[in-house]
C-alpha cells in the first residue's frame, strides 16, 4: 500500500507546504495515468499520509500529464480566489465581517476574534485580499486547517505541543542554523503552529513551527521544518 493516497489514488512523489498562517499547497505525482472522471480542476482533493487521514483537504487547480504519470496541484481554500464586490459596514463586529467574506465564497470557518467597528469598507477584490484586509485592520490572523476549514483568531497562541521530540541521529537528520531549518524523517501528524522539541547536536530546544513541508521524492520521506524559539 502506498504511503500517500490522494482520493485513494497512489502517490509517487509529493510536496505539501503549510505555513503557520495562510493556506497550504500540495503538488504530487500519481502513479497511474488519471482518467478525467476521477480528478479534475476544482474537484476536491483529500490526502492521506503515512496512516494519518485527511492531512490535506483542498481543490485541484491544475493537472498535467507527463509520460504515463499525472501531476496534480491542489490548494486549500481555493474559493478564496473568488472575486468579491465592494461592501460597506457600520457598527459591526469584526468577526462578522470575516464570516461574511467566508460565506460569500462558500467556505466554512471558525472565527475566534471580535472587536466593534464603527465603519469598515471592504474593497472589491479577491476574497483572500478581503480576508487579509480585515485581519490586518484588527490584528487578527488566519490559516487553513487540514480539513479545509479556515481558522481566524485574534491571538498567536500555538497549537498543542507535538508529542514526539526530534532527536539528533534518530528522527532528526539535518539542521541548518542559518535558516533555522530542521530536516527529519516524515512526521505526518506535525502541524504548522505546533510547539516542537528538537535536539540538534544533542542540544534540547523548544520551537514553534512557522513553516513545514512534507516531501516524498526518490524513495525518501522527509519533513522540513522552519521554526523559532
35, pLDDT greater than 70: no
CA distance 45 to 148: 10
Predicted confidence at residue 158, as pLDDT, reads 61
- Digit-coded pLDDT (tens) for 126-150: 999 999 999 999 989 999 999 889 9
CA distance 73 to 45: 9
72, pLDDT greater than 90: yes
Domain parsing of the chain, residue ranges: 4-76, 80-153, 159-228
pTM: predicted TM-score of the whole model, two decimal places: 0.90
Q: 80-153 has which fold? A: Phage tail protein beta-alpha-beta fold (3.55.50)
Look-up of cell digits 476521477: 38
C-alpha cell at 38: 476521477
- Digit-coded pLDDT (tens) for 51-65: 899 999 999 999 988
Averaged pLDDT score across all residues of the chain: 91
Report the percent of the chain where pLDDT is more than 70.
96
Amino acid at each position: 500500500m502506498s504511503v500517500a493516497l490522494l482520493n485513494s489514488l497512489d502517490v509517487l512523489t509529493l510536496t505539501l507546504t503549510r505555513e503557520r498562517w495562510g493556506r497550504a499547497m500540495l503538488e504530487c505525482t500519481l502513479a497511474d495515468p488519471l482518467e478525467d472522471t476521477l480528478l479534475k480542476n476544482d474537484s476536491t482533493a483529500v490526502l492521506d499520509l503515512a496512516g494519518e487521514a485527511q492531512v490535506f483537504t483542498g481543490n485541484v487547480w491544475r493537472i498535467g500529464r507527463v509520460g504515463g504519470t499525472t501531476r496534480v496541484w491542489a490548494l486549500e481554500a481555493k474559493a478564496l480566489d473568488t472575486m468579491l464586490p465592494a461592501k460597506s459596514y457600520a457598527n459591526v463586529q469584526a468577526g462578522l465581517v470575516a464570516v461574511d467574506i467566508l460565506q460569500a465564497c462558500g467556505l466554512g470557518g471558525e472565527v475566534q476574534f471580535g472587536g466593534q467597528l464603527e465603519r469598515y469598507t471592504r474593497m472589491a477584490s479577491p476574497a483572500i485580499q478581503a480576508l487579509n484586509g480585515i485581519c490586518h485592520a484588527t490584528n487578527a490572523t488566519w490559516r487553513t486547517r487540514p480539513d479545509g476549514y479556515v481558522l481566524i483568531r485574534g491571538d498567536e497562541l500555538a497549537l498543542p505541543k507535538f508529542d514526539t521530540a526530534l532527536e539528533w541521529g534518530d528522527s532528526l537528520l539535518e539542521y541548518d542554523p542559518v535558516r533555522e531549518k530542521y530536516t527529519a524523517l516524515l512526521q505526518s501528524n506535525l502541524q504548522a503552529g505546533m510547539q516542537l522539541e528538537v535536539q540538534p547536536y544533542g542540544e534540547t530546544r523548544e520551537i514553534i513551527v512557522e513553516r513545514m513541508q512534507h516531501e516524498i521524492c526518490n524513495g525518501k520521506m522527509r519533513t522540513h521544518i522552519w521554526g523559532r524559539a
